[in-house]
Structure formats: structure tokens, C-alpha cells
Amino acid sequence: MPDRKQIVEVAGRSVVITNPDKVFFPAAGVTKLDMVSYYLSVAEGALRGVAGRPMVLKRFVHGADGEPFFQKRAPDKRPDWVPTVTLSFPSGRTADEIVVSDAAQLAWVVNLGCIDLNPHPVRAADLDHPDELRVDLDPVPGIGWPQILQVALVARDTLADCGLAGWPKTSGSRGFHIYARIEPRWTFAQVRRAAVALAREIERRAPELATAKWWKEERHGVFVDYNQNAKDRTVASAYSIRPTRDARVSTPLAWPEVPGCDPEAFTIGTVPERFARLGDPWRDMDAAAGSLEPLLALADKDEAAGLGDAPWPPHYDKQAGEPPRVQPSKRRAGSAPPPAPGKASGPTGRRRSTMPLIEVARAASEAEARAGLERWKERHPGIWPLLEPADILVDAMRGRSSLWTRIRLNLRHVPEAQRPQQEPLEVDYDPWAAYRQGPPGAPR
């Protein structure tokens, strides 16, 4: 029996929705057609976040509970009314990415299995000069929602003092986002430099609540992730559904709503009514583009005081002026933690370490990795209570076209005599196995 299809008439076009009854959120009973209907109900706001921007396709072909894959290159088979633009990446490669500008194109993207929307901070007409500064507040484990909101308010005031209007939204996940429209006349490197200065200033204003430190081992409170402004990074845009059990939505807010907001209140089932009643709180955003000059002047001041560049993500080339790309646990002091049996390197690579790290799991999904962590906890009931939330290092690692998860434990708060040794990994996933083996029939 052929798969059912449904035609959606929108923006003067007929969009084919394949498998419209496919369930993407089993707990909430949300189907692909429900997602399409949701996005069309908030299209004015959703398009404000993505219109005219190249977009990475983050496709959940197995639903929200499955692992997504990232597709930078536009599908070869697509309607002639779905445009693309050619982007170049730090690796030197290029890709033709989708550019969404109307509701029909939006529905077409959702039909591919895109739950959330991930546009770049540039317009297709000018790919070299971002028009958004993105503030991503990422809490370390154990940090509660009230502290995140406190840091959001500090970020708002810091932006305002630098002449920029901040536009807040829930991330739909654990954190919080604030966007600032900027004039498109600075390069990616300059925008990121401004973001580093902003993160450091937020930390200075709220040192007990926020951090600008890149390495997870050094973080506390809420991390202000300046590297979300590096070229080729994307963030789930306004009104994006997120792959949570309750189909939560990354929802734009007005600042008076922020102190008492509850992220669980914004879901695919509640946001359409809110949008119909209140409209889009970000409706005036495009008219509020500001200058980066005050933040860049702050960056100059920091540099004069000895604060140069901050670390970049690991898959970027070493940048001029960047400090040594060596995390604290890899600095040459102490001894190197041993690798798990059968592994060539341990939890800190092959370098020597100042931190007593052990590795617990490498898994295709975070759920599998955390299940392995639970098994480790059961085998070490006397050790787990000694660990603090920041000692559990959960890393989203980039594979060839998808993410995998690594979990490490920092035993710094465990008395040395009680520290367990490195053991075989609870979950031992190799994201490169298929790539090394090549296609069936390929020479080994």
C-alpha cells in the first residue's frame, strides 16, 4: 500500500506532505502534519527568524526520539521554487544551502523531517557580514532556571549599555537565547570578537552566576557561549519546535515576561494560541539594528589589559592571537589518565593531565550514554555522591554528519585513595567505523 500524501495549499503553491500521519513526538502524539500546521499558524514569526537566510537542514527522519543528521547541501530533488545560495565554510568546502522566504518553502522544509529551523546569522544577499549577534546562555549541570533568567537580565542590561537592543526567547531546551540585530558591516571574526567581550563583561557583572570560560572543566553557573557567533554555527531560530518529549517551542518573549516565564508553558499545543492573541514580540526587531563599535571598543580595552582572544571550537583552524588550544586537563602537569581497555587514547587525548578524569561512555545518542552512566553509578554507589554537577562532563561530539555523545567524570572531589580506575567503557561507540570500512565491496 503506497504511503499516504496530503496537499497543503499555501503561499500560492501546492506543497506535498508525505506520510502526514507519521508520529514525530510519541508522548505528545504530534504528527508530521501537526508540525506543518503549527509552523503555518506562526509563519509570520517563524519567517522573521529565517527569511532570506541560508539554512542547515537538521533532519529527524526517525522522529524526535531518533538521532538527527545535518544536511548542509540542498537536496538535488526539490521544487524549482525552493532557492539556494552557495556558502563557503572554514574547512574550505562549499555547499548550496536552502533559503526559505515564504510559508510554502517553510512547509516543504518541515516535510523533510526538520523539527527545528537552523539558519545562519547572515542574509543570502551578503554572506560575509552577519546581521545578528547571538547570546546563547548554556547552564552547567545542576543550575536551575531562575539563575538562567538572572543572567539573561544581566545580558539585557549589558547589551543596552553597549547600545544594542536584546530580544529574548526560550531556547526550547535547557538554556536561553538573546538576539541583537546589528548593522551588516562587520565580519564574522569581528562579530565573534564582540561576543567574547560581551561574555566577559557579563561574567564581570555577575561573577557568581555566569562564566565566559570555554573549557567545561572550568565553568560554573551559566556559560555565555560566544562561539555561537563563529562562522558556520547555527542556533534554533524563533518559533522552532525542539525535539523534547513535550514538543517544546523556542518562543520569543517581551522582557517583562522573562522574570516569571516557564519554558514548559511554550509547546506546539500552546504557542499558536499565544501568537494569535499577542502577535510576535519580535515584530519590531528588524528596525532595531545597532552598532558593534561599543563592544569592539570593550574588546580593545580587554586586550590592552591582557585579555586576548578566547578559544575557538576544536574543528576550526588555529586562529591568529588565539591562546594555546589546550584544556586544563591536558596541560603538561601530573600524569596522563589511562585509556579505556582497547582504546588508543584516554579521556584527555594523549596529553598529560592536571585533572583526574575517567571516561564512561561513547554512544551514538545521549540517552544511550546516560544509560551507561547509570550503570556506572550502580557499580560505584560510594563515589557518585562525592561528585558535583560540574564534574559530569557530557560532550556532544561531531561525527561525519551527525552528533555522538561522550561522558567523562572529573574525580577531583573524590579522595585520591577512593578514586576508581579507568574501566572498559559502558558504551563503546565508534562514529568513524563505517567511514573507515567504506561502502560494501570497497577494498579494505
Residue 50 φ/ψ, nearest 5 degrees? -125, -15
H or E element: which one contains 24? strand 23-25
DSSP 343-362: -SSBEEEES--SS-EEEEEE
Look at residue 403 in the predicted model and tell me its pLDDT.
80
What grid cell was written down for 67? Answer: 538521532
pLDDT of amino acid 440: 47
- Check residues 142 and 352 and name the one with the higher pLDDT: 142
pLDDT at position 350: 43
CA atoms within 13 A on the CB side of 290: 21
Q: Would you place residue 202 in the very low, low, confident or very high pLDDT band (cuts 50, 70, 90)?
A: very high
Cα(135)–Cα(200) distance, integer angstroms: 12
Stronger pLDDT, 19 or 330, i.e. the higher one: 19
Per cent of the chain over pLDDT 90 is 73
Between these two residues, 300 and 348, which has the higher pLDDT value? 300
Does residue 335 carry a pLDDT above 80?
no
Report, as an integer, the average pLDDT of 160-171.
98
Give the residue, 292 or 314, on which the prediction is more confident: 292
pLDDT given at position 93: 84
Residue 437 has pLDDT above 60, yes or no: no
- Please give the average per-residue pLDDT across 12-32, as a whole number: 96
Q: What percent of the chain has pLDDT over 70?
A: 89
CB atoms within 10 A of CB 154: 21
pLDDT over 60 (residue 272): yes
What is the reported pLDDT for 215? 87
Average pLDDT over residues 302-325: 82
Could you report the per-residue pLDDT of 208-267, keeping only the tens digit for each? 999 999 988 888 999 999 999 999 999 999 999 999 999 999 999 999 999 999 999 999
Confidence category of residue 327, pLDDT binned at 50, 70, 90: low
20-47 mean pLDDT: 97
What pLDDT score was predicted for residue 347? 65
Residue 84, pLDDT > 80, answer yes
**Residues listed for the chain:** 444
Identify the pLDDT of residue 118.
Answer: 97
Give the helix ranges, DSSP H, for 209-334.
271-278, 293-304
In three state form, how does the secondary structure of 47-67 look? Answer: HHHHCCEEEEEEECCCCCCCC
How large is the average pLDDT for residues 120-138? 97
3-state secondary structure of 69: strand
363-410 pLDDT, tens digit each: 988 899 999 999 999 999 989 998 988 889 888 887 656 788 999 999
Q: Which residue has better confidence, 144 or 434?
A: 144
Lowest pLDDT segment from 75-79, 164-168, 191-195, 203-207: 75-79
Dist CA 136 CA 138 (whole Å): 6
Quick one: CA dihedral 241, 243, 247, 253, positive or negative?
Answer: negative
Taking a C-beta distance cutoff of 8 angstroms, is the pair 166, 180 a contact? yes
Residue 442 has pLDDT above 50, yes or no: no
pLDDT at 70 > cutoff 60: yes
What is the model's pLDDT at position 435?
52
Supply the pTM of this predicted model.
Answer: 0.78
